[in-house]
Amino acid sequence: ANLPASDLLSQLNPNQAQAADHYTGPALVIAGAGSGKTRTLIYRIAHLIQHYGADPGEILAVTFTNKAAAEMRERAKHLVKGADKLWMSTFHSAGVRILRAYGEHIGLRRGFVIYDDDDQMDILKEIMGAVPGIGPDTNPRVLRGILDRAKSNLQVPADLERWPEPYISGLPRETAAEVYRRYEARKKGQNAIDFGDLITETVRLFKEVPGVLDRVQDRACFIHVDEYQDTNKAQYELTRLLASRDRNLLVVGDPDQSIYKFRGADIQNILDFQKDYADAKVYMLEHNYRSSAKVLGIANRLIENNSERLEKTLLAVKDDGHPVVFHRATDHRAEGDFVAEWVTRLHGQGQKLTDMAILYRTNAQSRVIEESLRRVQIPAKIVGGVGFYDRREIRDILAYARLAINPDDDVALRRIIGRPRRGIGDTALEKLMEWARLNQTSILTACANCVEQGILDRGAQKPKEFADLMAAMSDAADNYLPGPFFRFVIENSGYLDLLRQEGQEGQVRLENLEELVSAAEEWSQTNDGTIGDFLDDAALLSSVDDMRAKKENRDVPEEAVTLMTLHNAKGLEFPTVFIVGTEEGLLPSKNALLEASGIEEERRLFYVGITRAMDRLFLTAAQNRMQFGKTNAAEDSRFLEEIEGGFDTIDPYGQVIEYRAKTWKEYRPTVPSRPSAPTFVHPSAVKNTSSMTAEMAYRGGEKVTHPKFGAGQVLAVAGMGERQEVTVHFPSVGTKKLLVKFANLSLA
Ligand code: ATP
Ligand code: MG
């Protein structure tokens, strides 16, 4: 091809450059792992701007996580000017933004809140009792699963009624439809939407109000979707609508890495792209730049075992490199120790801890690994799991904030009306709820009118006081930045006193709340938004996202090994990767064994894991594993057999032995008395990593500079240490009160 001379494209191989040079019309980049799909997508955006003169403000790129979006923007900034105007986000964040701006057209009221999984469960538990046909043994999670899947597929309650089979996940279809209907009504009454709605409501908005679609399309003339193989029907439809006017849609993906079927992702979306867009240009990338030839070899061999797949070529650019290592440990603890030893060894050889990742199938596997790492004093950063924003005290304070900006949020109210206790018992709450239902209003309104309306016989003053408190918080929400607002809430809700009485545990929770204030302060430094915007962001943080991970690991130094699930590792790469628990029942997981397509999905998941490795790959399994409190014999994963010969096996003492699948029961290593066990404590792991910033003292009259507000002059200083506040006058924005800790001021 005749490529235009361009610095940008010269950093790509010819196939990548062709794809990046794609100008208008639909295009599909379909290629294996590590072939530079994401890189090509970023270069295409930069090239569009630089070479074709596209306005960054009309370019949209959808990624799988907020973190990926931020990284993409960062990389684009290095390549081309104006990249900060790019619209880069996840489907969900895009949905929030669109619905915040135009949701009123479809009846969403201003200030609506986003319900997360737990809030969903709260509503479902409440509904369950009232819907006939639901037994006491029905798990609300099953209901949530039904709703989530329906939404991924753009199905409304009536669709469940017309379900081809009489039962949906064990529930009569009529019952499922009824739950769905009531759930929607309840949510609507509380001015809330859930995660699924972020997509489905946006789709509905676009369909019902074409004018809005048109406005959004002006902002998205060139659309990119990374990881297209994991889109579900609703996301597919959203993409289709967005692209319907200008048809400049470039999607990138790898069908072999589709791993979210359980959440409704449909691999058919990428396979049918050429059917949907007959004039689509298809670009194939055939060289893998990420992994050593050895690693890529086993990845390719593994994935060939899937029956329904699109054949692709994927050739290694790198050499063989290090051997791939398999290690079968006696039990899960020994497995953890093996990993910890190798991490220590590699670290001792100079590899950075941030260059190593340990991947597992289920979150529960992380605990043992963490313990092993702790014994050798290797810091670990856990991505996912119970995140910062899932902690009870954080969720409580966020619930106060939600109720402060949306008085209709009954779910939030019920969460916090008794935390701390304020003398409103269950019966009183029942009566308030009853009154609210009869009058079709919120529980908070019931509280406010409790005295005049005589809703309660005794103690009617208490709900009134609560309503007054919430009114004060609403005021604060309108007038404070997020950080000071949360401090206000923590102090005035009575929560602070509650935790102070809880001793040691309360102290930990208090520190977490401090962290929330910090998170909000930090957020304000890069965002101009309101408290509502902060809540949106907090709700949207997916488990791979930085903010949550960072807060979750607040005592972990930057330099740490990464621990995460295989799912969360998608799209990432690390020089060294460990995949633990390559056993039947774990990988493939027990649930997947029920159907053939389940095994194929697990194989893709393993493929994703293997292809994260750049230079070194370790696979481990245990012969005995404790799960759910019981230790059982474990069997090697069937996938190991499929890639047999592609890796070397080493025994616990580092000797290479022959791998024989499934015959481990015969295998008894003749181990000499253990050589003086090496102690793998790396000196750098022991040094004190706590980082206290030097105390800074400001005096009135001093000239300072703020990264955002520019030059200013200190008017007053109050408080000390962590809580020191300065009042600064900035000619650019006026007078501001700032916490020294977060203000990033420097002396001018
Ligand atoms: P995945 O399927 O895992 O998402 P991908 O196809 O998106 O992978 P990238 O992450 O874009 O692949 O690229 C993999 C690695 O190879 C990256 O480190 C990238 O910088 C590097 N790479 C890709 N293409 C080239 C190239 N032409 N020259 C040098 N390095 C490249
Ligand atoms: Mg990628």
Task: Kindly give the distance from the C-alpha atom of residue 563 to the centroid of ligand 2, in angstroms, as a whole number.
Answer: 20
By alpha-carbon position, which residue is closest to atom 8 of ligand 1? 34
Tell me which of 123 and 18 has the higher pLDDT.
Answer: 18
Cβ(13) to ligand 1 under 6 A? yes
Of residues 128, 177, 120, 165, the one with CA closest to residue 144: 120
CB of 265 shorter than 6 A to ligand 1: no
Cβ of 555: how many Cβ atoms within 10 Å? 8
Pocket flag, ligand 1, residue 196 (CB < 6 Å): no
In which band, very low, low, confident or very high, does the pLDDT at 729 lie, cut at 50, 70 and 90? confident
For ligand 2, the distance from its centroid to the CA atom of residue 104, given in whole angstroms, is: 36
Separation CA 220–CA 240 (nearest Å): 12
**Ligand 1 pocket test: which of 41, 290, 300, 318 has the largest number of ligand atoms within 8 Å of its C-beta?**
290
Mean pLDDT of the chain: 84
Query: Would you state the pLDDT for residue 519?
Result: 77
Q: How far is it, in rounded angstroms, from Cα 358 to Cα 745?
A: 38
Instruction: Give the type of residue at 12.
Output: L
Q: Return the structure tokens found at 307.
A: 């029956």
Taking only the tens place, the pLDDT of each residue in 27-55 is 999 999 999 999 999 999 999 999 999 99
The span from the CA of 491 to the CA of 516, in Å, is 13
* CA of residue 537 to ligand 1 center, whole Å: 29
Reading across the β-sheet that carries 703-706, which strands appear in turn? 734-739, 725-730, 710-718, 703-706, 746-747
DSSP characters over 188-251: HHTTEEEHHHHHHHHHHHHHH-HHHHHHHHHT-SEEEESSGGG-BHHHHHHHHHHHTTT--EEE
Question: Do residues 541 and 66 make contact, with C-beta atoms less than 8 angstroms apart?
Answer: yes
- Per the annotation, the verdict on 197 as an active-site residue is no
DSSP code per residue over 366-407: HHHHHHHHHHTT--EEE-SSS-GGGSHHHHHHHHHHHHHH-T
Residue type, 648: D
Cα 301 to Cα 313: distance, rounded to the nearest angstrom: 12
In the three-class reduction of DSSP (H, G, I as helix; E, B as strand; rest coil), residue 89 is classed as strand
What is the pTM for the complete model shown?
0.77
- State pLDDT tens for residues 283-331: 999 999 999 999 999 999 999 999 878 888 899 999 998 989 999 898 8
Q: How confident is the model at residue 655 (pLDDT cuts 50, 70, 90)?
A: low
Residue to mutate, 74, 289, 544, ligand 1, most ligand atoms under 8 Å from C-beta: 289
Q: Is 381 helix (H, G, I), strand (E, B) or coil?
A: strand
Q: Is 41 in the pocket of ligand 1 (CB under 6 A)?
A: no
Would residue 631 show up in a list of annotated catalytic residues for this protein? no
Identify whether 420 is preceded by a cis peptide bond (ω within 30 of 0). yes
289 pocket-lining for ligand 1 (C-beta < 6 Å): yes
Question: Closest ligand 1 atom to the C-alpha of 288?
Answer: 16
Q: How confident is the model at residue 593 (pLDDT cuts 50, 70, 90)?
A: confident
Three-state secondary-structure class, residue 345? helix
Burial 406-437 (b: 16+ CB within 10 A, else e): bbbbbbbbbbbbebeebebeeebbebbbebbe
Give the Å distance between the CA of 287 and the centre of ligand 1: 9
Active-site residue among 16, 18, 37, 202?
37
Total residues belonging to the chain: 748
User: Is the bond into 210 cis (omega within 30 degrees of 0)?
Assistant: no
Can you list the positions of beta strands (E) in 274-332? 281-285, 287-288, 315-316, 325-331
Of 144 and 19, more confident? 19
Q: Answer whether residue 747 shows pLDDT above 90.
A: no
Give 66-104 pLDDT, tens digit per residue.
Answer: 888 888 999 999 999 889 899 999 999 999 999 999 999
In this model, does residue 676 exceed pLDDT 50? no
418 is in an annotated binding site: no
Q: In the annotation, is 257 catalytic?
A: yes
Is the per-residue pLDDT at 336 higher than 90? Answer: yes
- Looking at residue 377, the DSSP 8-state letter turns out to be T
Is 37 marked active-site?
Answer: yes
What is the arithmetic mean of pLDDT over 724-738? 78
Q: What is the dihedral of CA 83, 85, 90, 92, to 10 degrees?
A: 170
Q: What is the C-alpha separation between 634 and 63, in angstroms, rounded?
A: 37
Q: State residue 544's pLDDT score.
A: 44
Phi and psi at residue 231, to the nearest 5°: -80, 145
- CA atoms within 13 A of residue 741's CA, in its CB half-sphere: 18
Please indicate whether residue 500 is annotated as part of the active site.
Answer: no
Q: Are the beta carbons of 436 and 446 closer than 8 angstroms?
A: yes
299 CA → ligand 1 middle, Å? 16
User: For the chain, what is the total number of helices (H) and then of strands (E)?
Assistant: 30, 26
* Residue 399 pLDDT > 80: yes
Q: Which is it for strands 325-331 and 613-627: parallel, antiparallel or unpaired?
A: parallel
pLDDT over 60 at 671, yes or no: no
* pLDDT tens by residue, 340-352: 999 999 999 999 9
Task: Report pLDDT digits (tens) over 426-451.
Answer: 888 888 898 998 888 999 999 988 88
Q: Is 55 assigned a catalytic role?
A: no
Local structure of residue 677 (DSSP, 8 states): P
Among the listed residues 572, 608, 575, the one whose alpha carbon sits nearest the alpha carbon of residue 71: 572
Handedness of CA 187, 188, 189, 192 (dihedral sign): positive
Which stretch, 110-119, 292-301, 475-484, 504-513, has highest mean pLDDT?
292-301
Maximum alpha-carbon separation in the chain: 85
* Rg of the chain taking only CA atoms, in angstroms: 28
HSE toward the beta carbon, residue 343, CA cutoff 13 A: 33
Residue found under tokens 């002059």: 713
Per-position b or e across 615-631, b if 16+ CB within 10 A of its CB: bbbbbbbbbebeeeeee
The number of angstroms, rounded, from the C-alpha of 698 to the middle of its chain's C-alpha atoms is: 39
Q: Which amino acid is at 359?
A: L
